[in-house]
Amino acid sequence: MKREKSILLEKSEVFSGRIVRMYQYLTSQKKELVMSKQVLRSGTSIGANIAESRNAQSTADFIHKLSIALKESDETLFWLKSLYNGNYLNEKEFDSIHTDAEELVKMLVSSINTLKKKYQI
């Protein structure tokens, strides 16, 4: 049986691809190895945790996995700002991927709050 993908999962998968391509650019073109690895880990972890939430054992477990994705999103925002402040990303590059990261944060917060309210958790 095929499960439908959620919009949140789809957006996180696209974002993960962008993060991977940014990592490749930063390491090959800018020779930046530390922060780029950090943003690669946190940025790809967002989608991984959202995907994992689809197999949650309970509503509380589902919320917990989305909460981990939210934490990873916040960490990703930090690393993106650090890369921008360190002049590894120009304003256009930063604005584009930062906007996508903020959209994921908003979607995760909304999903978590809706679930907590619905199930009174």
pLDDT digits (tens, 9 = 90+) for 34-52: 999 999 999 999 999 999 9
Q: What is the pLDDT of residues 58-98, one digit of tens each?
A: 999 999 999 999 999 999 999 999 999 999 999 999 999 99
State residue 121's pLDDT score.
81
- Mean of pLDDT values over 7-26: 98
Classify residue 31 as exposed, middle or buried by CB count within 10 Å of its CB (0-12, 13-18, 19+).
exposed
Contacts of 119 (CB under 8 A, 6+ apart): 59
pLDDT of residue 113: 98
Average pLDDT, the chain: 96
pLDDT > 70? residue 2: no
For residue 52, the model assigns a pLDDT of: 97
DSSP state of 107: H
In the chain the domains, ranked by start, together with CATH numbers, are 7-118 (1.20.1440.60)
Look at residue 1 in the predicted model and tell me its pLDDT: 43
